[in-house]
A and B are shown apart, each in its own frame.
Chain A
Amino acid sequence: MAKVTVDGIEVEVPNGASVLQACEAAGKEIPRFCYHERLSVAGNCRMCLVEVEKAPKPVASCAFPVAEGMKVFTDSAVVRQARRNVMEFLLINHPLDCPICDQGGECDLQDQAVAFGSDASRYHEPKRAVKDKDIGPLIKTVMNRCIQCTRCVRFSAEVAGTSELGGTNRGENMEIGTYVEKALTSELSGNLIDICPVGALTSRPYAFVSRPWELKKTDSIDVLDATGANIRVDARGPEVLRIIPRINEAVNEEWMADRGRFSFDGLKRRRLDRPWVRRDGKLVAATWPEAFAAIAAKLSSVPGDRIGAVAGALADAESTLALKDLMTAYGSANLDCREDGAAIDASRPEFWRFNTTIAGIDEADALLIVGSDVRREAPVLNARIRKRWTAGKFPVAYVGPHGLDLTYPAAHLGAGPGAMQGFAETLKAAQKPMIILGRGALQRADGAAVLAAAWALAADVGALTADWHGFNLLHLFGGEVGALELGFVPGADGKGLDAMLAGGVDALWLLNADGFDPARIAAGTFVIYQGHHGDAMAGRADVILPGAAYTEKDATWVNTEGRAQRGRLAIFPPGEAKEDWRIIRAFSEGVGKALPYADMHAIRAALAAASPVFARVGDVARAGCADPAGPAGGEVSGADFVLPLPVYHQADVISRASDVMAQCAATYGPAPALAAE
């Protein structure tokens, strides 16, 4: 530790820390453009100049290491003059077009120009003009505004792991870009918008839409992948205008994936905004009482064990619990939340959680990935793995389709489950080995055997000890784990998904279940679809109950680690749509089976009673493995793994309804064939 005096305040900072960090420890804000806590230090904007005693001239605090007894001045006349001069130079070529710039109101340069800018420009020569770049459908570029801080270059090279941006040419002619025109291939590209300190990289879908002070900001949780990134939903009136990440060091640091960030325009399209009931083979618009009456009539006419329910990938915990309790009230144990057919063993939480935890990745020292394209299934989690890899001494191997680009080097062991053993020696040699099993790897006939084999390998290589849990299941969406925690699986004598679809039930309640082909539902089954999008499954329904999307309800979501987090209502659901658990609660009351919770506090208390994860919202109880006995398995087949999400940008009902995501899918992959109506 080194003792440093900043403006008379004595602070102790670790050796090797920068002067800027020491100033922050002393509570002094240092202006900066190029410096970013999570990126390497570039030291090229010169905005963070401070005065250090005995230094002959102001020093760039971001790149200057502290020394014992150093005296730093952050607000002396020299410092103020130096920053004023730097600002004047930065503004020489930066257009003064704040009124038409999308960054206006949340622009570092604008803010700092207020603090350090002069009232008039002394520069009368022509400004530099730089051609705008086309880097894909998500990011709009106005390169005249670029101050060449190179944050985007460092982000794409270091965090995203896709080195595509760079500074070409030199001096006055230097430009940030891809040199060869191309769309950025990173699934984290939206973060470039956040880290750009000026208006050079802005959101294309959000272009000229709104000013930051007009927005109502609501903290929430991203559910379009299972990472559970903390987000802020910015809305104006009845519309979500943008979604940006919040900082949560244990989950997403400050990044977020593109699908969660840009697919919100799908929340406005193909919405179910009123109940529908099928009459004479045709869906007709109905009222809530009519829809409830149709369901009640059907459910009272069949025995309890001929009723079933499926919870889908985007179902929140409250409504899942309500639906489970409703089914129990009807005497049905036919429940399943594994709508994708993943053979998850629900007998012990450790079998379905990401036990190492996301923050725990930083401690691991060897990694085997089985049947998962982590980069596309959980881009932010993948960035965490890349961060660990960057720190060094981290062998990675994967089993799955050949040629996966995970953004860090990984050895390919083979395409089928048999290849897992090929990495056992490396894992055994490691102190804290990690195995990530993709949920997609369990969506096959021998899924249970794959799960058992992966667990057995983890036990065999010493990944399951009292103080280290190296077995991880990586889920795909934000609603999957919550349902598992609530035990939304077949009860005693209950039927599973396959049995229910194959005619094992006469009435089937689908809660946000869009993960399987509607044609698999046996003809004659009465289908109640509760959800927010008119996707394929709604077309099969006999009664449609319009629910709320994740931005439209106060709901609890559980990420792949088993971390319960609260999403909050940012806008109201459209039309007559309602919060999902309230729909089920209202129905239960109508049929005389009123569920024992009438308000939010009561159902949250019921959640906490159902599973301890809901009692420690925001946190996760990380533990080692007390019992290395594995799940029941069988014989694995030699079949190759198939990745579950063929198109990253269109993986769920919301992103399938999104225009922006459709453009991305067209840009980054072969255009999908139009679905037959």
Chain B
Amino acid sequence: MSTETVEPTSFAFDAESEAKIATIIKRYPEGKQASAVIPLLYVVQKQMGRQTGSAWVPRVAMDVVAERLSMAPIRVYEVCTFYFMFNTRPIGRFHLQVCGTTPCWLRGSDDVLRACKDAGGLKGYGDTSADGAFTLTEMECMGACVNAPMIAVDDDYYEDLDYESTVKLIEALKRGERPTPGSVIGRQTSAPVGGPMVLTGTEQD
């Protein structure tokens, strides 16, 4: 997919984004508005996701952000291309971000990756499925190592996955459902699998 063909000709913030921007800009002292560039790019990406189903930051939107924050456009391009979290080209409706860092890898992230490819119809990292539903990306550690392996779907973490549970998750996404984020084996946050091991009884026992 080449970016030239899909680059929109214009971009404008919608009402929801404007409301958010108003609160963001207020966080920074007068004259230091350029500091809001990362949150604003994030607002752009969210809005694109709402409007087009593909959460990415087109170049025209970077120009709009630059204009809004009185920055040179190149300064916004630099920030936006630096962070992997900003997609500078269109992605699928669901962004499958597979963690492949050591703890997840030791706990079977290869299986999770295989499940994403099989169930999502994806050829590998960087690919977007033919129906435009999924984009697969490899991520570095996202800090959920205790519940490894995990994937992040857009902003939601799904943890303690294996091949079957990942396929189930993707099938659910295909049906338009959003399973509850967190551990798919039902453990409480990062507590031990199978329930508490200590402090199990009351003081009287």
Contact B74 A165 (CB under 8 A): yes
Does A209 sit at the interface, judged by CB under 8 A?
no
Convert A282-317 into 0s and 1s, putting 1 for each residue whose CB lies closer than 8 angstroms to a CB of B.
000000000000000000000000000000000000
Which chain B residue has the least Cβ–Cβ distance from A173?
B81
B58 to chain A minimum Cβ distance, whole angstroms, is: 12
Residue contact B74 to A170, C-beta cutoff 8 Å: no
* Chain A 175-187: CB-based contact to B (< 8 A → 1; otherwise 0): 0001110000000
* Interface contact B74-A166, CB-CB below 8 Å: yes
Interface residues of B in 46-84 (CB under 8 A from A): 59, 72-75, 77-78, 81-82
Given A163-B74, A164-B72, check contact A180 B82 (CB 8 Å). no
Report whether A178 and B74 are in contact in the complex, using a CB–CB cutoff of 8 Å.
Answer: yes
Question: In whole angstroms, how far apart are the Cα atoms of A163 and B70 in the complex?
Answer: 12
A157 within 8 A of B: yes
The one of A157, A166, A170 in contact with B77, judged by C-beta atoms closer than 8 angstroms, is: A166
Most buried by B among A165, A167, A168: A168
User: Which chain A positions have C-beta within 8 A of B59?
Assistant: 180
Q: Are A163 and B72 neighbours in the complex by a CB distance under 8 Å?
A: yes
Q: How far is the CA of A675 from the CA of B73 in the complex (A)?
A: 38
Contacts of A157 in B (CB 8 A): 72
A132-183 CB contacts (< 8 Å) to partner B: 157, 163-170, 178-180
Report Cα–Cα, A247/B81, bound state, in Å: 37
On chain A, the residues within 8 Å of B75 by CB distance are 163, 166
Cα(A135)–Cα(B107), bound, Å: 49
A170-B140 Cα distance, complex, nearest whole Å: 15
**CA–CA, A207 to B143, complex, Å?**
52
- For B66, the closest partner residue in chain A by CB is A163
Q: Which residues of A contact B82 (CB under 8 A)?
A: 168-170
Instruction: Render B90-104 as a binary contact track against A, CB cut-off 8 A, 1 for contact.
Output: 000000000000000
Smallest Cβ distance from A645 to chain B, in angstroms?
26
- Give Cα A229–Cα B59 distance, bound, in whole angstroms: 39
Q: B residues within 8 A CB of A164?
A: 72, 74
A274 CB, min distance to chain B CBs, angstroms? 51
Q: Determine the residue in chain B with the shortest Cβ distance to A161.
A: B72
> Which of B73, B74, B77 counts the most A-chain CB atoms under 10 A from its CB?
B74
- A157 vs B59: C-alpha distance in the bound complex, in angstroms? 21
- Chain B, interface residues (CB within 8 Å), range: under 10
**Contact in complex: A168, B72 (CB < 8 Å):** no
Interface of B is mostly: helix
A39 to B75, CA, bound (A): 18
Closest-by-CB residue of A relative to B71 is: A163
Q: Which residues of B contact A168 (CB under 8 A)?
A: 77-78, 81-82
- When C-beta atoms are compared, the residue in chain B nearest to A165 turns out to be B74
CB B65 to nearest CB in A, in angstroms, measures 14
Give the residues from 180 to 214 in chain A that come closer than 8 angstroms, CB to CB, to chain B. 180
Tell me, in angstroms, the Cα distance from A166 to B82 when the chains sit together. 11
Nearest B residue to A156 via CB reads B74
A388 CA to B9 CA, complexed, in Å: 39
A346 to B103, CA, bound (A): 83
B81 partner residues in chain A, CB cutoff 8 A: 168-170, 179
Which one of B73, B75, B81 has the greatest number of beta carbons of chain A within 10 Å?
A: B81
Complex: chain B residue closest to A169, CB-CB:
B81
In the assembled complex, the CB of A1 is this many whole angstroms from the nearest CB of chain B, namely 34
Q: A169 to chain B: which residues have CB within 8 Å?
A: 81-82
A146 to B184, CA, bound (A): 48
Q: A178 to B72: give the CA distance in the assembly, Å.
A: 11
Taken together as a complex, chains A and B put the C-alpha atoms of A169 and B73 apart, in Å, by 15
**Complex CA distance for A157 and B82, rounded to whole angstroms:** 19
Q: Would A167 and B72 count as touching, CB distance under 8 A?
A: no
Distance of A168 Cα from B82 Cα, bound (Å): 6
Q: Which residue of A lies closest to B74 (CB)?
A: A166
Chain B 137-166 interface residues, beta-carbon cutoff 8 Å to A: none
- A628 CB to closest chain B CB (Å) equals 38
B contact residues around A179 at 8 Å (CB): 73-74, 77-78, 81
Q: Which residue of A lies closest to B82 (CB)?
A: A170
From residue A37, how far is it (CB to closest CB) to chain B in Å? 24
Proximity string of chain A (375-412) to chain B, C-beta cutoff 8 Å, 1 when within and 0 when not:
00000000000000000000000000000000000000
In this complex, what residue of A is CB-closest to B77? A179
**Chain A residues within an 8 Å CB radius of B78:** 166-168, 179
Nearest to B72 among chain A residues (CB) is A163
In the bound complex, what is the Cα–Cα distance between A167 and B75 (angstroms)?
Answer: 9
**CA–CA, A105 to B77, complex, Å?**
35
- Which chain A residues lie closer than 8 Å to B73 at the CB level? 179-180
* B67 → chain A closest CB, angstroms: 14
| Closest residue of A by beta carbon distance from B78 | A166
List 13 additional contacts besides A163-B72, A166-B74, A178-B74; criterion CB under 8 Å.
A163-B75, A165-B74, A166-B75, A167-B78, A168-B78, A168-B82, A169-B82, A170-B82, A179-B73, A179-B78, A179-B81, A180-B73, A180-B77
Q: Which residues of B contact A (CB under 8 A)?
A: 59, 72-75, 77-78, 81-82
A-B pairs with the 10 shortest C-beta distances? A163-B72, A166-B74, A179-B77, A168-B81, A166-B78, A169-B81, A170-B82, A168-B77, A163-B74, A168-B78
Listed by A's residue number, 25 A-B pairs whose Cβ atoms lie within 8 Å are A157-B72, A163-B72, A163-B74, A164-B72, A164-B74, A165-B74, A166-B74, A166-B75, A166-B77, A167-B78, A168-B77, A168-B78, A168-B81, A169-B81, A169-B82, A170-B81, A170-B82, A178-B74, A179-B73, A179-B74, A179-B78, A179-B81, A180-B59, A180-B73, A180-B77
